[in-house]
Structure 1
Amino acid sequence: MTDHQFEGVYPAMTTPFTEDERIDFDQLRANAQRLERAGVDGLVPVGSTGESATLTHDEHVEVIEAVTAAVEDVPVIAGTGSNNTREALSLSERAVEAGADGLLLISPYYNKPEQSGLIDHYRTIADAIDCPQIVYNVPSRTGQNVAADTVVELSDHPNIVALKAASGDLGQISEIVERTREQEFVVLSGDDGLTLPMLSIGATGAISVLANLEPERSCAMVGAARAGDFDRARALHHELGPLTRALFVETNPIPVTEAMAIRGHGTGVVRSPLTRLSEHHREHLERVLADLDGAERPSTVST
């Protein structure tokens, strides 16, 4: 896995819970297998969509073990970030021992380190663990942007192989793509609404919330764009637009967890302090999903 080139569609998996907020491992395994059958290029459990903030470290490891055991031929990229470097390192080591093929590392949140601190944080983990690692920049959650200069500097490390970009700043993302073109480093979309624009400027795929529900359409869109068929990619992008917007009307992963329940892939339960999707948003989500259920399924273009 150390030579893996991240490209295509990687669903940021939800963590299904029972009504009493215990992890539903049977549903988790079923979700992983359903996504693999749909043709995704990898799976990303225990990220923010998987409610990592309210999982214990032991639960993190148990989820990773369950997902890796459930699938046959797709890599599993585990979310192991923290605002504590030692904690992130410990969790990353445990994730690799549990079978993870790579790591997704959100930048330290709340304590807002300087850019030099971010570099030290990522290098400490990359020096200690020999597996592919993805820097995750999502300033809306962390309160801190990982600057383009920082990403470019980190891209020199052989174990830091990708950026999950969820800054919403296409100018910055384009600069990073431009400045890392000669390296073994790629950019993945972390924002479903901007996946197609990011692909047009050189991103190679997406770590996607949307793909939990629409893996075939997500793979077809990304595959079409990567094949240069932007007419088809745009059509799929717009077909998915209503669902993309509906999945972010409340804090992620509240809407996607509810949507999974509507589709029969879970209970809709989220752990406190998150709450169930409000009724009027649920009614709209049901309509959007029904419209997609009634539409023709696309054939997948290989990514």
Structure 2
Amino acid sequence: MTDIDLSGVFPAMCTPFDEDERIDFETLQRDAQRLETAGVDGLVPVGSTGESATLTHDEHVRVVEAVIEAVDDVPVIAGTGSNNTREALELSERAADAGADGLLLISPYYNKPEQRGLIEHYRTIADAVDLPQIVYNVPSRTGRNIEPDTAAELARHENITGFKAASGDLGQIGEIVERTADEDFAVLSGDDALTLPILSVGGSGTISVAANIEPERTCAMVGAALDGDYERARGIHHELGPLFRELFVETNPIPVKEAMAIRGYGPARLRSPLTRLAEEYRDDLEAVLDDLERERTEVADATEGDR
């Protein structure tokens, strides 16, 4: 198994669609290159933000292949989770064959397995696919929390090397960091508003929605925190705070796709049952994006003036 350094910023990529709801591969690849150029540490296609729930298995694989083809020097971690263990295993094997560097596996949703079922699910895939694998805990989507005991047990498997934490429970996340400290195991934020707090208790990075829009700032915040410069990290966190809030006024990825369209990075189209951002939120989102762009311009002008 090839190791991945799971520290830093890993944007959870959007999947762009054309007017006929087909995947827009040209825009997808251009976006992957934009993010790589911005300095991210890896890319995560076909997760929740990539609308994996409405992609066919063949589309999953084609998206992964397209992102791998587009980038030069960053790992690609493919979302391959499912509430069906056999299906998750098949997706994982196909992503591995496509050349993915790692896997992100959401915990089984809807059928709500017990903790022993979660352990069996993840071990089945980890035993069969020799790639670094990240366990993804997001109880608001799945209806089931991955308990610290379960996370600690899974961390002992050599192929399970990370945990994407989106429970919103900082106490639980801190406990998982503590209990896996002796393992080769990274705890990553899965909630942009909690990335800095998670880093402060020993997290190693973030699988981020906001990094699609502000990759440079997100990388600067995470890099500062990992270097111990929390004063700078806090400053950037508060700059990005309004964006964090606007990106979750409706179900992800509805707002981030609207933001991508406003910035000119990709279309706002989503596959049903998701819909475009409600009009009542658009003005606030545009205002936040304008403020961030103005701040960027002012910093660039000041830097130029100092030369």
Q: Tell me the TM-score normalized by structure 1.
A: 0.97
Identify the residue that residue 118 of structure 2 maps to in structure 1: 118
Deviation at 1:52, TM superposition (A): 0.2
Describe the superposition over 1:242-266 as per-residue Cα deviations: whole angstroms up to 9, x where unpaired: 0110000000000000100000011
For the residues of structure 1 that align with 2:75 and 2:189, how far apart are their CA atoms? 18
Whether contact under 8 Å (2:106, 2:135) holds in the other structure is yes
Identify the residue that residue 165 of structure 1 maps to in structure 2: 165
Identify the residue that residue 79 of structure 1 maps to in structure 2: 79
Deviation at 1:2, TM superposition (A): 2.0
For the residues of structure 2 that align with 1:70 and 1:57, how far apart are their CA atoms? 20
Unaligned runs of 5+ in 1: none
Aligned residues: 299
Describe the superposition over 1:184-229 as per-residue Cα deviations: whole angstroms up to 9, x where unpaired: 0110000000000000000000000000000000000000000000
Deviation at 1:5, TM superposition (A): 2.5
The percentage of counterpart residues that share the same residue type is 73
Deviation at 1:3, TM superposition (A): 1.9
Describe the superposition over 1:243-300 as per-residue Cα deviations: whole angstroms up to 9, x where unpaired: 110000000000000100000011200000000001121111111100001113779x
Deviation at 1:161, TM superposition (A): 0.2
For the residues of structure 1 that align with 2:89 and 2:143, how far apart are their CA atoms? 21
Whether contact under 8 Å (1:16, 1:266) holds in the other structure is yes
Whether contact under 8 Å (2:4, 2:75) holds in the other structure is no
Identify the residue that residue 67 of structure 2 maps to in structure 1: 67
Instruction: For residue 295 of structure 1, give the secondary structure of its aligned residue in structure 2.
Output: helix
Identify the residue that residue 276 of structure 1 maps to in structure 2: 276
State how 1:256-275 maps to structure 2 within 5 Å. Answer: 256-275=256-275
Identify the residue that residue 179 of structure 2 maps to in structure 1: 179
Q: List 4+ stretches of structure 1 deviating above 2 A.
A: 296-299
Q: CA RMSD in A?
A: 1.0
Whether contact under 8 Å (1:133, 1:160) holds in the other structure is yes
Identify the residue that residue 154 of structure 1 maps to in structure 2: 154
Whether contact under 8 Å (1:268, 1:276) holds in the other structure is yes
Identify the residue that residue 97 of structure 2 maps to in structure 1: 97
Q: Which amino acid aligns with 2:177?
A: V
Deviation at 1:47, TM superposition (A): 0.1
Describe the superposition over 1:141-175 as per-residue Cα deviations: whole angstroms up to 9, x where unpaired: 00000000000000000000000000000111000
Unaligned runs of 5+ in 2: 301-307
Q: Which amino acid aligns with 2:235?
A: A
Q: Tell me the TM-score normalized by structure 2.
A: 0.96
Instruction: For residue 182 of structure 1, give the secondary structure of its aligned residue in structure 2.
Output: coil
For the residues of structure 2 that align with 1:20 and 1:247, how far apart are their CA atoms? 25
Describe the superposition over 1:119-153 as per-residue Cα deviations: whole angstroms up to 9, x where unpaired: 00000000000010000000000000000000000
For the residues of structure 1 that align with 2:67 and 2:3, how far apart are their CA atoms? 21
Describe the superposition over 1:90-137 as per-residue Cα deviations: whole angstroms up to 9, x where unpaired: 000001111110000000000000000000000000000001000000
